Amino acid sequence: MLLENIIIISLKTILLFAIPFFGLFIHTKLIKNILPKDFPFVIFNRALLLGCLAVLSVIFFKELFFPQTLKSSIKETLTITLFISFIEAGIIEEAFKVLFFILGSKHYEKTESLNPLNKFIFAALIGLGFGFAENIFYAYDYFVKDRFPFFNFSELYEIYSMLFGRNFTSILAHTFMNAIFAYCFIRSSSFLFSLSIAILIHGLYDFFALPSTLLGLIFVKLWLIFAFCFCIYAIKSLNSKSSQLFLLSEL
């Protein structure tokens, strides 16, 4: 009986952490199939790693400056939702994603071919790495804080469903948000404007998604569709710009 319980707990724990890796595998597979031929593959995994490092930085920063006691002291539901959406998620998460994008792109510009389109993809990959690592920490949080119901099927199903759903909502949202920042930055060359757009988008996304209402679900789905279409437009636009820059460099 004890051995059976150990096996059950082990398998359910493996599945818990396997779900985020499944999401990462699916998205990286799709992205690799549409990457331009001149994209420097050497920085593909490194961009994902930068996204993971950004999550670690966010967690450390939040623990240091925004302890749980601070949020617990806020009683108004709307206020706490606005705080989490626009401060914790919007400003802090976008600031660190953008920071690692700037540092990474500055470093790789010296050694790799980072034309406008490649910079856009590089930013999107950092967002993908961020979303993946965030999912890992969600799974870790459930496991470590004794909230993981090993023998309650209905609660297990709810947790697995939540993590699986985040593979196609949260991970994509972080990927698109970082890509949109990069596009605005490439087009406008204004760091503050581009970061403000990313913060506003992230804040609005979380503001509607956090309450888990029907309106929020509709908003999330519509936003993901819009962001996907925008990214397709951005890729075509930046691909044209990158081609023009290549021709100029050949003259």
Contact status, residue 43 vs residue 108, Cβ threshold 8 Å: yes
Q: Is residue 34 domain-resident?
A: no
Residue type, 246: F
Gap between the terminal Cα atoms of the chain:
76
Structure tokens at 124: 């999107």
Q: Is residue 12 domain-resident?
A: no
Q: Give the tens place of pLDDT for each residue, 34-87.
A: 887 777 777 888 999 999 999 999 999 988 887 765 566 665 677 888 888 999
CB atoms within 10 A of CB 124: 28
Q: Is residue 37 domain-resident?
A: no
Q: What is the DSSP letter of 7?
A: H
Q: Is residue 230 domain-resident?
A: yes
Domain count, the chain: 1
Residues of the chain under the 70 pLDDT cut: 1-5, 68-76, 110-113, 145-152, 241-251
Q: Is residue 149 domain-resident?
A: yes
Tell me which residue range forms the domain holding 150: 42-250
Q: State pTM to two decimals.
A: 0.89
- For residue 173, what are the CA distances in angstroms to 27, 127, 128, 176, 251? 12, 8, 9, 5, 40
Contact status, residue 128 vs residue 51, Cβ threshold 8 Å: yes
Q: Is residue 81 domain-resident?
A: yes
Q: Is residue 27 domain-resident?
A: no
Tell the burial category of 68 from Cβ atoms under 10 Å away from its Cβ (0-12, 13-18, 19+): exposed
The overall average pLDDT reported for the chain is 85
